[in-house]
Amino acid sequence: MTLTDSFSLAYRTVRSNKLRTGITVAIIAFGIMALIGIVTAIEAMNRGLRDSFSLMGANGFSISYKERFRFGNNQSATQKTKKGGKKQKKSNLDKPIRQAEAELFKQSFHYPVLVSITLNGRGGNELRYQDKKTNPNVRLTGGDENYLRVNGYTLETGRNFSTLDLETGRSVCILGSDVATRLFGENYTRGMDKMIRVGNSPYRVIGILKSKGASAMMRADNVAITTYNNVRRLGNSAPSFNIGVMANDVQFLEPAVNEATALFRGIRKLHPTEDDNFVVEKSDKLAATFIGLLSSIQGAAGAIGLITLIGAAIGLMNIMLVAVSERTREVGLIKAIGGKKRNIRQQFLFESTIISVAGAVLGIILGVLVGNLFALFMGTGFVVPWGWVITGIVICTLVGLGAGLWPALKAANLNPINALRYE
């Protein structure tokens, strides 16, 4: 009996036991589907995050008085005491950036960079124009003449903020494309110079932004931008100003970060032994933070898939042991006509491996489809985690071999005379 004969016989046996094979394949498929589905969804989220933060530029960084995103109970780097330094008072650490400090930094930072001052307003605003209105989730952000460039925005129509707009804080705004479409329809450029209401305050539209598209995770198009003096005048703004910096070239980024840190320490009147009471964050650090969190979820998905596969391997082994009992006389007949132990082993190992790999293929197809439903929602395009696909097939092949090994050895060691007399 050749290897091909063993494989052919194993395949026919698998096909003849449809119910048993189908149940085992389904168990394995669900385990792989859970793993591949979650991994595919996470890969889509990673791609969306990279696209979102790449629009901020790899050559940019921000200065704020607290980390924008912090998870767990770890202290911020700004709240750690330097070795040999004095422990700072909590009041000195929790010190928002004032407007005068931000403006002094912008005037004093003489480096090949672009500096922008930002003051965030309320995040849940409803904008209205005549009988049209947006959902109450529009961000109102206050910036300056450099805000658009530093944050990767481009005007589709209209103008940027003028010096007079900035100094007086008058009620003018630039709308994101999603907001403009909701208020003025598909031909949203007709919204130029129209008066809209942000909450109860009237604003004149002086510009409309091009869509960022790929930055769907950050809702970058669902925004209304005015000047920071206007946001400050409204009285419901964030407690601290933020400073955005974009270097002219990525090679200037690290020197710019060091220079900015030294300058801002002086503006904040920090003693040389004191820690920074502000945070400098590069644009790609936020993406790395989120991606790191998603990696832990990916590890949990792997654990879920592994547990399911262990259960499937036990079930597959039991089924193969039952198959040995059912086909004892068949094994005895094969041995009686000259079949060898290795032919019996090969047949049973082929059976378990075929079932396991069939479950892997089905699970991978379902997992990729389920995961890409999330990718479709994110607008990141079709995602196939090829590394995990190959890993899943390899793991299931090993599971099939492992689960079929004991039953194969048991069948191969049967006495042919006793096997032929088995009832």
Share of the chain above pLDDT 70, in %: 82
For residue 179, pLDDT beyond 90 = yes
Question: Judging by beta carbons within 10 Å of its beta carbon (0-12, 13-18, 19+), is residue 228 exposed, middle or buried?
Answer: buried
Longest dimension (CA), the chain: 103
- Return the top range by mean pLDDT from 83-87, 92-96, 172-176: 172-176
For residue 68, pLDDT beyond 90 = no
Q: What is the reported pLDDT for 76?
A: 42
What is the chain's mean pLDDT, rounded? 81
Helix (H) or strand (E) holding 155: strand 155-158
Q: What is the reported pLDDT for 230?
A: 94
Q: What is the reported pLDDT for 422?
A: 63
pLDDT band at 99; cut points 50, 70, 90? very high
pLDDT band at 108; cut points 50, 70, 90? very high
pLDDT higher at 173 or 38 = 173
Interval 122-153: pLDDT, tens: 878 999 999 999 999 898 999 999 999 988 88
373 three-class SS: helix
Distances in Å between the alpha carbon of 239 and those of 138, 232, 297, 319, 366? 19, 10, 33, 65, 48
- The residue length of the chain stands at 423
pLDDT higher at 53 or 282 = 282
Q: Which of 290, 411, 270, 292 lies closest to 343, judged by CA? A: 411
For the ranges 41-55, 126-140, 298-312, 354-368, the lowest mean pLDDT is seen at: 41-55
For residue 83, pLDDT beyond 90 = no
Predicted TM-score of the model (pTM):
0.59
For residue 265, pLDDT beyond 60 = yes
Q: Which of 184, 180, 164 lies closest to 172, judged by CA? A: 164
For residue 380, pLDDT beyond 90 = no
CA 175-179-184 angle, to 5 degrees, is: 95
pLDDT band at 419; cut points 50, 70, 90? low
C-alpha 132/C-alpha 191 separation (Å) is 12
Chain position carrying tokens 């000259």: 338
Interval 222-251: pLDDT, tens: 899 999 999 998 877 888 999 999 888 777
Instruction: Determine contact, residues 267/101, Cβ cutoff 8 Å.
Output: yes
Q: What is the reported pLDDT for 268?
A: 93
